[in-house]
């Protein structure tokens, strides 16, 4: 696996790959990789000639007071997992490489996505996600891009971004990978104590039962929303230091 740290070198390598007539599959991540990320990489590996993974903790998608400065990191562990999954390129830019200036063009969420689920409570977050994905898509120029169903609203935002800005990328959405007790895997699960991890299992149980009172009865879990959008029932809750999300298709 080759580690690419600058935009010009990455663009050069991608151009060479495209000139060779190879297809590129891209998996954007914020690192601290787990089996959920690996499932996306495996799908890309199965469907594309060349697999690119990015690790970039994007400052513009964190709101004031969120965990940007202590977002979990495990670069050495990540590199081992990526090697094992036969990733070709790791794009690992610095903040300055992606945002050389603070005065950068931004995005606005469409009305249809503004007031649903996390769009309400994390105002500004998805605008940051769209901004960084637009940059990453222009740098990597993949045929397919891989996202997890766990971040359901994010998949809607990215699908709309791809359509509205004519990126011409095929978006693949992969199922949620869960821990044994049903808790959706997340880099933020690292924040949980054993007791909190146990308590957090109620999120998936409540989704399956369609019953938010199960969460309200769990003292370690502070419910943010339990909301239906189309055929998806989604939940967000604070458990200790972690803000967790999950969803099921009805």
Binding mask 61-100 for ligand AMP (x = CB under 6 A): ----------------------------------------
List 4, 14, 17, 37, residue binding ligand AMP (CB under 6 A): 37
Helix (H, G, I), strand (E, B) or coil at 89: strand
Q: Which residues contact 66 (CB under 8 A, 6 or more apart)?
A: none
The verdict on 187 binding ligand AMP (CB under 6 A) reads yes
Would you say 12 or 83 has its CB closer to ligand AMP? 83
Neighbours of 150 (CB within 10 A): 22
Q: Residue 246's closest CA among 218, 214, 204? A: 204
In the complex, the smallest distance separating the C-beta of residue 173 from ligand AMP, rounded to whole angstroms, is 8
What are the angstrom distances between the C-alpha of 109 and each of 6, 78, 119, 120, 158? 29, 32, 9, 11, 11
The verdict on 131 binding ligand AMP (CB under 6 A) reads no
The verdict on 186 binding ligand AMP (CB under 6 A) reads yes
The verdict on 30 binding ligand AMP (CB under 6 A) reads yes
The verdict on 153 binding ligand AMP (CB under 6 A) reads no
The verdict on 39 binding ligand AMP (CB under 6 A) reads yes
In the complex, the smallest distance separating the C-beta of residue 235 from ligand AMP, rounded to whole angstroms, is 14
CB 224 within 8 A of CB 121: yes
CB 52 within 8 A of CB 1: no
């Amino acid at each position: 696996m080759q580690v690419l740290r600058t935009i010009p070198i990455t663009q050069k390598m991608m151009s060479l790959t495209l000139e060779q007539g190879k297809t590129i599959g891209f998996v954007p991540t914020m690192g601290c990789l787990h089996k959920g990320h690996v499932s996306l990489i495996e799908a890309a590996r199965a469907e594309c000639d060349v697999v690119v993974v990015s690790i970039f903790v994007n400052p513009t998608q964190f709101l004031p007071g969120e965990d940007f400065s202590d977002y979990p990191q495990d670069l050495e562990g990540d590199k081992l997992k990526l090697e094992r999954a036969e990733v070709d390129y790791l794009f690992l830019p610095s903040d300055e490489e992606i945002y050389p200036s603070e005065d950068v063009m931004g995005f606005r969420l469409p009305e249809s996505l503004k007031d649903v689920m996390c769009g309400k409570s994390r105002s500004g977050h998805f605008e940051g996600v769209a901004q960084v994905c637009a940059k990453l898509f222009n740098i990597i120029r993949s045929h397919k891009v891989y996202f997890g169903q766990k971040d359901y609203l994010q998949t809607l935002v990215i699908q709309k971004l791809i359509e509205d800005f004519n990126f011409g990328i095929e978006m693949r959405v992969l199922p949620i990978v869960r821990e044994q007790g049903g808790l959706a895997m997340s880099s933020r699960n690292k924040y949980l104590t054993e007791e909190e991890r146990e308590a957090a299992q109620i999120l998936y149980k409540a989704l399956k039962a369609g019953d938010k009172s199960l969460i309200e009865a769990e003292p370690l879990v502070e419910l943010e929303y339990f909301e239906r959008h189309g055929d998806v029932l989604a939940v967000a809750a604070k458990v200790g230091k972690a803000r967790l999300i999950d969803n099921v298709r009805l």
